[in-house]
Amino acid sequence: MSPRQQASEPPALELRSVSKRFGDVVAVDNVHFTLTRGTVHALIGENGAGKSTLMRIADGLIPADAGVVRFFGAAPKAHDARGAARAGVGMVHQHLSLVPSLTVAENLVLGGSGLLRPVETSALLRTTMESSGLRVPEHVLAGDLSIVEQQRLEILKALARGARILILDEPTAVLAPADSDELLRWIRAFADRGGSVVLVTHKLREAIAVSDDVTVLRHGRVVRSGRAAESTEADLARAMFPDTLDRAVASTTPAAGSTIITAEAIVVVDAGGVQRIGGASFHIRRQEIVGIAAVEGSGHRELLRAIAGLVPVSSGAIQLPERVALIPADRLREALISEFTLTENVALHELGRRRGLMPWRELSGRTAALLDRFAIVAPSPSAPAWSLSGGNQQRLVVARELEHAVDLVVADNPTRGLDIRATAFVHDQLREAAARGAAVVFHSGDLDELLSLATRVLVVFHGTVSESGLDREAIGRAMVGAGSGDGAGSAA
C-alpha cells in the first residue's frame, strides 16, 4: 500500500456531480469520482457503462454538461486537452494513438515545435525510460513494435510530457497474462513513487489486486465505491451485473435441430493480421439461440464475422449454411447506405445474388409492410435512411434481415439503441426465426438480455471460446477471466 496522503492535500483528480448526455442517451449521470494522490483507483463497469466518457471528460477531450473537474485542487481555466495536459493528466487510450510510420522517438515528441533534435529526443527517451522503468527498443518504427511495447510507448509519451496522473483505459485488454502482470506491477510501483493512476478496467481480479480504491459504474451512475481491500470479486461482479430483473426471463429450451455449423480448431485473424480467435471448436444446431458473451477486445467480433461467412478462417475448418441474415454492430458502416432510400436499403440484402430487374414496386410495398410490422417511424419507404433516428435505422436493419427465411441469423448488438418495446419485438423475431428452423448466434453487451434470449451461451475471452451454463455470475466471471480459470476447452 502506498503512503496515504495527508488529509489536507487535495486529491490528484476530482470529478464532482459530473453529467454528460449525447442526444437522448445519458452517458454519465451525476458522478462523483475522487483519485487520491499516490494511489491507484480502479474504474469498473460493463461496455456502455460510461467509463470511457467519464475519462474523456477528465482528459479534457469532451466537455461535461454539468459538474466540476479539479486537478490537484484547482479547476483549469480552459477545460480542454491542453489544459488537462498542463495539469498533469496523461491518458493512455484503448485504441492506441501512435503514428505507425513514425519512429519511437518521433512519436514521443510529436506535437512540439521548432527543430527536431534527434540527440535530445534520444536523451529524453532514455531518461524517461530510466526513471519509469519501462523499456522500448529505440530505433524502430512504432508500427513494428509489439502490442506490449506500443503500450509502453504510450505511457512513456504521457510521462515525457510530465504526466503525474495517468488514466489507463483497459490497458490489459490486449495483453497476454504475463505481460498484464508486469504492467500491473509497474502501475503499483508508479503509484508507490507518488504518481496517481485511474485504471479503467473490467477485469475484477486485477482491479482488486493492484488498486487502492474501486468505483463501479452502471448505466452512467456510480453503484459502488470504496476501498479495494474491502471488496471481493463477487461483490464487484454483483454490482456490475445485479440480480434485479425488469424483464421476464423466458428461456424455453426447445429441442435443437440438426447441426448447421461445425467449426474445428478455427483460427481467425483480423484485418490487420492479428490472431483474434485461436483454435476454437464448436457446433451450432438449428433452433438454438446461442448467446456470445464477451467483453471488448476478446475476439468475439471476428468470431461473428467468421460465422457469418464474411471472413475466411485462416486455419481449421468451418462449415456454414447458405442463407444468412446479418445484423452487424455498426449499421452505418456495414448495414445501411445513409443516402439511399429505405426501399433501396431493404433491396441491398443479398444484392450480389440478384439477377435481372429490380422489382421496385414490390420492394416498396414490402418495405412499407416492414415499416408497419416493425413500427419503424419513417415518412415513407422513399425517405432517405439518414432521416431516420438511430433506433429506427436499427429496426430497419433487423426488419430487412429477418424478413426472409434463413438458416442462420448472426446479430451483433441487435437491440442497441432500441427502446423496450422494440427490443422485445426484436427478441420475438429472433425467437421466431429460431422456431422456424434457423440457428441464431448473437452477441449482446447486456448480460440480462443475453440470458433472456439465449438457450446456450458461449463465452469468448482472449480468443478462446468456451461453453458456459446459463448462470449469470458464472458467465460474468468467465467474461472477465475471473473465477474458474480462463475457460479453456471446447464446446460441443
Partner 1 sequence: MSEVAPLLEAAVRTATPLLIAAAGETVAERAGVINIGLEGCIIAGAYAAFAVGAVTTAAGYAAAIAAGLGVGVLLAVFSVALRRDQIIVGTALTMLALGVTGTLFRMGGATALVVATQPATRLPGLSEIPLIGAAFFAQPAITYVAFGLVPAVWWFLQRTHSGLSLRAVGDAPIAARAAGVRVSAVQASAVLFGSGLGGLAGGALVLAQAGTFAEGMSAGRGFLAIAIVALGRWRPAGVAIASLVFGAAMALQFVVQALGWRVRYELALMIPYVLTLTALGALGKGVAPATLGRTVIDQ
Partner 2 sequence: MIESFALADLGQVLDAFWRGSLGTSSAFFSGTLVRAIPLALVGIGLSIAFRAGVFNIGGEGQLLLGATAATFVGLYASALGPIAVVAALVAAGIAGAAWATVAAYLRDRFGVFEVVSTIMLNFIAVNLVSYLVRGPLQEPTRVYPQTEIIPFGARLPHLWPGTRLHAGAIIAIVAAVASWWFLSRTAAGFRIRAAGASPTVSRTTGRVRVDRVTFGAFVASGALAGLAGGIEVSGVTYALYENLSPGYGFSAIAVAILARLRPLAVLLAALLFATLETGALGMQRDAGVPSVVALALEAAIILAVVGVSGGFRDAPWRTWRASGATVAR
Enumerate binding residues for partner 2 (CB under 8 A).
95, 310, 326, 328, 330, 332-340, 344, 347-358, 360
102 binds, among partner 1, partner 2, none (CB under 5 to 8 A by kind): partner 1
**What gap in Å lies between CA 223 and CA 63, rounded to an integer?**
23
For partner 2, which is the closer residue by CB, 159 or 410? 410
How many positions of this chain bind partner 1 (CB under 8 A)? 19
340 binds, among partner 1, partner 2, none (CB under 5 to 8 A by kind): partner 2
Short-list 390, 411, 391, 393, CA closest to 342: 393
Q: What is the closest distance, in whole angstroms, from the C-beta atom of residue 278 to partner 1 in the complex?
A: 28
338 binds partner 1 (CB under 8 A): no
Q: What is the closest distance, in whole angstroms, from the C-beta atom of residue 114 to partner 1 in the complex?
A: 6
Strand order in the sheet with 25-35: 25-35, 13-22, 66-71
For partner 1, which is the closer residue by CB, 151 or 452? 151
82 binds partner 1 (CB under 8 A): yes
Q: Are 76 and 83 in contact (CB under 8 A)?
A: yes
The set of residues, in sequence order, having a beta carbon less than 8 Å from that of 389 and lying 6+ positions away, is 377
148 binds, among partner 2, partner 1, none (CB under 5 to 8 A by kind): none
Cα 137 to chain centroid, rounded = 30
Q: What is the closest distance, in whole angstroms, from the C-beta atom of residue 195 to partner 1 in the complex?
A: 21
Of the candidates 34, 70, 102, 270, which one interacts with partner 1 according to CB under 8 A?
A: 102
Amino acid identity, position 480: V
Amino acid identity, position 435: A
The set of residues, in sequence order, having a beta carbon less than 8 Å from that of 308 and lying 6+ positions away, is 324, 326, 408, 410
H or E stretch at 54: helix 51-58
For partner 1, which is the closer residue by CB, 105 or 289? 105
The set of residues, in sequence order, having a beta carbon less than 8 Å from that of 327 and lying 6+ positions away, is 335, 397, 398, 401, 409, 410, 411, 412, 414, 442
99 binds partner 1 (CB under 8 A): yes
In this structure, what C-alpha cell is assigned to residue 116? 527536431
Task: Using DSSP, state whether 302 is helix, strand or coil.
Answer: helix
140 binds partner 1 (CB under 8 A): no
333 binds, among partner 2, partner 1, none (CB under 5 to 8 A by kind): partner 2
77 binds, among partner 1, partner 2, none (CB under 5 to 8 A by kind): none
How many CB atoms are closer than 10 A to CB 469? 10
The bridge status of strand 89-92 relative to strand 259-269 is unpaired
Considering only 99-107, 307-315, 379-387, 462-470, which stretch makes contact with partner 1 by CB under 8 A? 99-107
Radius of gyration of the chain (CA): 24
99 binds, among partner 2, partner 1, none (CB under 5 to 8 A by kind): partner 1
171 binds, among partner 1, partner 2, none (CB under 5 to 8 A by kind): none
Of the candidates 6, 8, 74, 114, which one interacts with partner 1 according to CB under 8 A?
A: 114
The residues of the shown chain that bind partner 1, judged by CB under 8 A, are: 81-82, 85, 93, 97-102, 106, 109-116
